[in-house]
């Protein structure tokens, strides 16, 4: 098995690293403190100029056609310096991918060039509701048939980058009489459509530099040509989108974890206690070794899932494994690094405090760790059952 990266993938990784170090790292703490989303928007436009907002999108729509492995590599490098920018980059890429996969020719032409070029600062998914998070099939948003299309009403919760988005991918119930999950459809709705209102950004534990908003749809007219995919087939689209998004969030978590370990390693070399550098203490060496081993394993899981997706193979189980392991081990790495710094790690002037807050959400969004375990176990048991037949 050849695990080496292609020349193009290495170039994308290096470009992402240089951009993140030069443009994102110097301002990440300020973005977290001020919540100045205009800076986030500027970051996203610069990423679009580099081709990073459509890494797996065809060139005819302005995409880079670089593939999922390159997407994972770039997200990791961006997240290493600014998690807030990385999550907007990840979600926008996935919005573009679902439009490319399910959209009509007209829909692709309408939205993909804007997402790839930065004409739209971001794209957002409107799936989660207050009573439909891990169980999206329980959503209550409704789209009722009217002349020329639908009228959509409902509230979506915890929508990443909603106030920066140019287009929303929105799920709503179109057949309330259908069995659970069978009567849901998916729509493409421009952010300036009548009937859409966006609430102020939520106050969160971490990811302060990334706005997360409620999005309200009040009798929002959705024309017939805004239907994404087939009528009442939206739940299947959502499941497919989440699988790809898990590679992005796993890569984001990996980047945050690596940033924590890089800072802690430098600190161990510089800080002295009992007359010698902290790096000379075996207990701290083992903490560093364990965390870096886990993060390397996370990287390999992500590369495997990304490669299987690029190869056209089933990758849902692999994506869930990668997201579960990466997010859990990145959390462990951040809290371990904070512990290595002792009291300094708890102070806002050091990055471990921010990294530890930012990484916490990675075990929750795009499917909690518990949901990932359900998906993994379900697929494993299906495989075991098929072998017994």
Residues assigned a catalytic role: 366
Taking the CA of residue 302 as centre, how many other CA atoms within 13 Å lie in the half-sphere pointing to its CB?
32
Helix, strand, coil % (nearest 5) of the chain? 60, 15, 25
d(CA 122, CA 192) in angstroms, rounded, equals 13
Q: Which helix (H) or strand (E) holds 88?
A: helix 83-102
Taking the CA of residue 348 as centre, how many other CA atoms within 13 Å lie in the half-sphere pointing to its CB?
6
Beta strand spans in 174-237 (E): 184-190, 196-198, 212-223, 227-228
d(CA 97, CA 228) in angstroms, rounded, equals 12
- How buried is residue 78: exposed, middle or buried, by Cβ count under 10 Å (0-12/13-18/19+)? buried
Q: How far is CA 365 from CA 221, 245, 323, in A?
A: 29, 10, 10
């Amino acid at each position: 098995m050849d695990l080496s990266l292609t020349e193009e993938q290495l170039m994308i990784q290096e470009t992402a690293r240089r951009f993140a170090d030069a443009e994102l790292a110097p301002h990440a703490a300020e973005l977290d403190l001020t919540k100045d989303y205009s800076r986030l928007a500027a970051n996203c436009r610069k990423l679009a100029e580099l081709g990073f907002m459509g890494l797996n999108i065809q060139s005819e729509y302005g995409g880079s056609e670089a593939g999922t492995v390159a997407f994972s590599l770039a997200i990791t490098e961006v997240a290493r310096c600014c998690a807030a920018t990385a999550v907007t980059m990840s979600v926008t890429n996935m919005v573009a991918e679902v439009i490319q996969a399910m959209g009509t020719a007209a829909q692709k032409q309408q939205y993909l060039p804007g997402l790839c070029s930065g004409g739209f600062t971001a794209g957002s998914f409107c799936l989660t509701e207050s009573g439909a998070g891990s169980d999206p099939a329980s959503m209550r948003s409704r789209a009722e048939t009217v002349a020329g299309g639908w009228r959509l009403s409902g509230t979506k919760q915890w929508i990443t980058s909603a106030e920066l988005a140019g287009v929303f991918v929105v799920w709503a119930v179109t057949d309330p009489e259908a069995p659970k999950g069978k009567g849901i459809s998916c729509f493409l709705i421009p952010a300036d459509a009548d009937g859409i209102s966006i609430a102020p950004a939520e106050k969160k534990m971490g990811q302060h530099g990334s706005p997360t908003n409620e999005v309200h749809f009040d009798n929002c007219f959705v024309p017939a040509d805004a239907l994404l995919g087939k009528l009442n087939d939206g739940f299947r689209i959502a499941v497919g989108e989440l699988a790809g998004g898990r590679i992005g969030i796993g890569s984001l978590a990996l980047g945050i974890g690596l940033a924590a370990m890089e800072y802690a390693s430098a600190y161990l070399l510089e800080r002295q206690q009992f007359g010698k550098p902290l790096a000379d203490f075996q207990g701290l060496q083992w903490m560093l070794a364990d965390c870096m081993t886990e993060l390397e394993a996370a990287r390999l899981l992500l590369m495997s899932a990304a490669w299987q997706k690029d190869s056209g193979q089933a990758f849902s189980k692999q994506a869930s494994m990668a997201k579960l392991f990466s997010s859990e081990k990145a959390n462990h790495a951040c809290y371990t690094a904070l512990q290595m710094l002792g009291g300094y790690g708890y102070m806002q002037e050091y990055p471990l405090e921010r990294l530890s807050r930012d990484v916490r959400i990675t075990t929750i969004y795009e499917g909690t760790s518990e949901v990932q375990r359900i998906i993994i176990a379900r697929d494993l048991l299906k495989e075991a059952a098929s072998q017994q037949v």
